[in-house]
A and B are shown apart, each in its own frame.
Chain A
Amino acid sequence: MIEVRDLQKNYNGVTVVNIPSLVVQKGETIGLVGNNGAGKTTFFRMILDLIRPSQGQVFSKGENVRATEDWKRYTGSHLDEGFLIDFLTPEEYFNFIGKLNGLTPGDVQAFMDRFRDFFNGEILEQRKYIRDFSKGNQKKVGVAAAVMSDPELLILDEPFANLDPSSQIRLKNLLKDLKRQGMTMLISSHDLSHVIEVCDRIVLLEKGKVMEDMKTNETTLQQLESYFTV
């Protein structure tokens, strides 16, 4: 699904991402962990063609993401508030994204009904612009919009941050559902247990380099915790 070759990004002579090779198979769910500044977001931005790599390429379904726009059709993503259009209401935003993806208003309505639980009554029919929502609720809007078109590839940057415990659990269940449907996922998180529970492969970044790349099993949490213990 995703293939990274020789990828590097330098800022003023400092290498922030340096991944010689990484392959993500279709249907795989990958959790990206690492301390602040490890290069997780930069890596995601390069996959989404938001940052020009200093060197190397990212291939999505065998095509360089910089050469075509095809990946936009099957990729859903939410990295930060920059992905939201904050002067719209959530409904307007969903309708806008829906239209870009060729969904009918009926489809969008059905989608919103499906997410009613996840929204916990705090998102829809609030008569508020997205910019007036709390960070957590903004995140819910972003994540929901990202999965709206049933993308084949889903990229989320710290989806659990700012969410209340119930919402974290709902999100976890949602992601597991999507995984069962065969969606390929790339999720970064600081919450080790959540990410291990959702993902079947963990990639550990430090200073832009892949330090560990492992399948999750019973001991993964212990391994990671011992890695991060200072």
Chain B
Amino acid sequence: MIRLLLAHQWKEATRSSVWQKNLAINLVLGFFMLIMLLYVVLIGFFMNEIVQAVKPEANVVDVVNRSLLYYFLVDLSLRFFMQELPVLGVQPYLHLPIGKGRLVHFVLWKSITSLFNFLPLLLFIPFALRMLPEVYGTGGAWMWVAGMFLITLINNFLTLYFKRQLVEKPLVTVGFLLAVVGLATLDYLGYISVGTASAVFFRALGNNPILVLVPLAALVAVYLLNYRFLMAHTYPEEMRVGKPAKVGDSTEIGLLQRFGEMGTLIGLEVKLILRHKRPKSTTTMSVFFLAYGFLFYTNKVYTDGFAMLIFPGIFMTGFMMMSYGQFVPGWQSAHFDALLTKRLSPYTFYMGKFWMFVVACTAAYLVTLLYGFMPGVGIKIMAINTACFLYNIGVNTFVILFMSTYNKKRIDLSKSASFNWQGVGASQFIMMLPALLIPILVYLPFGLMDKPWWGIAAVGVLGILGFLFHRQLMGVVVQRFQREKYAIAAGFRQV
């Protein structure tokens, strides 16, 4: 039975259209994942040297033992935010003659396959094999690893339980989180020492293998807790993570209403962003990227030249536009047919996007002006960012919108944001290149002639020209959209 369920899960994964269509991207992603895991293994293997480098005097095994519980605390909080609840589509099985208990066990066991559970193994097994046998003997080393893995699993099931309770009885979860935070605070203030407890426990574990029963018993307890909770909640409507969204009062942004149809369209898009996880996190990310400049502006190697300042300028003032714009009109794939048939011309549709980008770039630009306060280079940064901003609203807006007509992949907005490659195609990668490279190419000849300020001015002037002729440029975009819309709409209809 379990084998059949596993087979179904495997089929669900490999037959999902996202996987099949983006095989190349998944391969690339898998490759990076492997490299990352390799790093983790290497860190584990050279933990001895790393600790020695930081604290030359200390006993490495003691240091690791002391920090393990802290590690698990961090692990727990990371899981709380990032680990997805395993939701086997239980619904299609519930009416079949399969015991509920089995399904619940399956859902719970499936959660063990989460990457979070394997990271500590990769990290600590190399360490344990290399360092521990001489301290605890081989048996003791393996018991140490076992105890560590059991605690990992306890974390796993604690996360599942309290994340589910978040919907059912939020107070329980809040209480648990407060307890964890309280523990950390007490430790910080020095009333108790998690480190000492950690050291004592893991040292004892290494010396006295029978102690492995302690985390084992705890694990069984948490597992049963989960099991009983899920057994009581197998009704599909209760299995759902998160209740149906509560709707507040309909918020029309008054200012937007003044801009007629364009305002209506932008208002719609703002709602789209605010009411879905993925576009929301995409736009939130771009706020953080406003700090990107510090990487460049604090380094004299960059601030002495010009070309390397154009890059952060374009990037910061345009990141919101680029990160969101690269998926336009895919964000609206679910209601794309509506947009095509309602009383709305493609020209207006794209104009709405254009003005939205202009507003986004302007907002980002105003924030980057704060870099002007940086001593010495402030004025130069402001001038370059101004040129980049103009270039972004005059030229890059159209580059992004023109490339957007190559987007033919549906985006399901209800899916989560992290590691979601839906809607990503070759055009996303190609799109960023002209947007980032062309302004530098424009600057380059002037830079080579040793007239850098002329180059910056050229970038800015190009932007102004593009902005002045935005109606004409938009015509080109719309023309291409008209040719491509059938293919785009057909792509978006494929769920």
- Indicate, yes or no, whether A interacts with B: yes
Q: B343 contacts A84, CB within 8 Å?
A: no
Bound-state CA distance A95–B334 (Å) is 19
Bound-state CA distance A50–B252 (Å) is 30
Interface string of B458-495 (1 = CB under 8 A from A): 00000000000000000000000000001001101100
Contacts of B247 in A (CB 8 A): 89, 127-129
Contacts of A137 in B (CB 8 A): none
Contacts of A50 in B (CB 8 A): 337, 340-341, 486, 489
> Quick one: which of B334, B336, B344, B492 contacts A86, CB cutoff 8 A?
B334
Interface string of B278-317 (1 = CB under 8 A from A): 0000000000000000000000000000000000000000
Q: A132 contacts B268, CB within 8 Å?
A: no
Q: B493 contacts A92, CB within 8 Å?
A: no
Contacts of A77 in B (CB 8 A): 341
Q: A69 contacts B345, CB within 8 Å?
A: yes
Q: Does A19 contact B (CB under 8 A)?
A: no
Q: B341 contacts A75, CB within 8 Å?
A: yes
> Quick one: which of A49, A84, A89, A91 contacts B338, CB cutoff 8 A?
A84
Q: In the complex, which of the residues A77, A82, A97, A100 has the most CB atoms of chain B within 10 Å of its own CB atom?
A: A82
Bound-state CA distance A81–B340 (Å) is 14
Contacts of A49 in B (CB 8 A): 340-341
Interface string of B228-265 (1 = CB under 8 A from A): 00000000000000001111001010000000010010
Contacts of B492 in A (CB 8 A): 82
Q: In the complex, which of the residues B264, B335, B340, B342 has the most CB atoms of chain A within 10 Å of its own CB atom?
A: B342
Task: Identify which of residues 76-122 in chain A touch chain B, using a CB-to-CB cut-off of 8 Å.
Answer: 77, 79-89, 91-92, 95-97, 99-101
> Quick one: which of A72, A82, A83, A99 contacts B261, CB cutoff 8 A?
A99
Q: Does B21 contact A (CB under 8 A)?
A: no
Interface of B is mostly: helix
CB distance from A83 to the nearest CB of B (A): 4
Q: B245 contacts A132, CB within 8 Å?
A: yes
Q: B275 contacts A129, CB within 8 Å?
A: yes
Q: B340 contacts A86, CB within 8 Å?
A: no
Bound-state CA distance A79–B338 (Å) is 9
Q: A82 contacts B245, CB within 8 Å?
A: no
Q: Which residue of A lies closest to B344 (CB)?
A: A100
Q: B335 contacts A82, CB within 8 Å?
A: yes
Q: A48 contacts B338, CB within 8 Å?
A: no
Q: B264 contacts A72, CB within 8 Å?
A: no
Contacts of B55 in A (CB 8 A): none
> Quick one: which of A99, A128, A132 contacts B264, CB cutoff 8 A?
A99
Q: B490 contacts A51, CB within 8 Å?
A: yes
Contacts of B338 in A (CB 8 A): 82-85
Q: B261 contacts A100, CB within 8 Å?
A: yes
Q: A128 contacts B244, CB within 8 Å?
A: yes
Contacts of A82 in B (CB 8 A): 334-338, 492-493
Q: Which residue of B lies closest to A47 (CB)?
A: B341
CB distance from B367 to the nearest CB of A (A): 28
CB distance from B470 to the nearest CB of A (A): 21
Q: Which residue of B lies closest to A75 (CB)?
A: B341
> Quick one: which of B264, B276, B413 contacts A96, CB cutoff 8 A?
B264
Knowing that A85-B334, A97-B342, A99-B264 are A-B contacts, what are 18 other residue pairs whose CB atoms are under 8 Å apart, sorted by A's residue number? Answer: A49-B340, A50-B341, A50-B486, A52-B486, A69-B345, A79-B337, A80-B337, A82-B334, A82-B336, A82-B493, A85-B268, A86-B334, A88-B271, A91-B250, A96-B268, A127-B246, A131-B414, A149-B343
8 tightest A-B CB contacts, nearest first: A82-B337, A52-B486, A127-B247, A85-B335, A83-B338, A99-B264, A87-B275, A72-B343
21 contacts between A and B (CB under 8 A): A50-B340, A77-B341, A81-B334, A82-B334, A82-B335, A82-B338, A82-B493, A83-B335, A83-B338, A85-B334, A85-B335, A87-B275, A87-B413, A88-B268, A88-B271, A96-B268, A99-B261, A101-B343, A128-B247, A129-B244, A131-B414
